[in-house]
Amino acid sequence: MSVVVRAALEADLDALISLNQVVQSLHAALYPRDFKPTIDRSAVKALFAARLAAPESGIGIAEVNRTAVGYVWFEVQARQETAFNPFRARIYVHNISVAPDARRRGVATALMRYVQRRAASEGIDEIALDTWVANLDARRFFEALGFAEFNVVLRKKLDRPRSNAAVPPPLHE
């Protein structure tokens, strides 16, 4: 199976929407309070169209026999120098999705190589991404590619506010 990855075009928007539903469904199954099980196709189309037009953004689409089987959406980010840290440029991977029937065939690896080529072409030496703790397959995949934890985000879910509490009280220190 030969996987070809190229820059996505406006003509690919419908394929991107369908492939996005795959990853959206997975996220919703893992974290139903955080993700909607289905997407608003027009909203996703608008989001991807805007990302295609943004110079700092990139979307690669993977094809097998001219059929879209996966995509990766990423962004070049620049952290300006401050008193605390030096300037840093990186590519941040927002989303990667592979059609279920194309998994374990090198599609995701080809997509991540596409991101690496983009980083190299821009002189960027760091790629960052995040994955959900419960998404063990993704974690194993990224670790196999050499990704390692560098930041841990913690959260605490609070009881839902009472419905009659329209505006939270101001915080005082």
- Walk me through the domains of the chain, giving residue ranges and CATH numbers: 4-144 (3.40.630.30)
Q: pLDDT: is 155 or 165 the higher one?
A: 155
Question: For residue 1, what pLDDT is reported?
Answer: 72
Question: CA nearest 27: which of 45, 16, 39?
Answer: 39
Q: In the chain, pLDDT over 70 holds for what percent of residues?
A: 94
Question: For residue 161, what pLDDT is reported?
Answer: 75
The pLDDT tens digits for 60-101 are 999 999 999 999 999 999 999 999 999 999 999 999 999 999
Question: For residue 160, what pLDDT is reported?
Answer: 81
pLDDT tier at 167, thresholds 50, 70, 90: low
Average pLDDT value for residue range 45-58: 96
Question: For residue 169, what pLDDT is reported?
Answer: 66
Confidence (pTM)? 0.87
Dihedral sign, CA of 128, 100, 38, 159?
negative
The span from the CA of 7 to the CA of 10, in Å, is 10
Question: For residue 29, what pLDDT is reported?
Answer: 95
pLDDT above 60: residue 165: no
The span from the CA of 51 to the CA of 69, in Å, is 19
Dihedral sign, CA of 39, 45, 47, 48?
positive
The amino acid sitting at 113 is R
Question: For residue 173, what pLDDT is reported?
Answer: 61
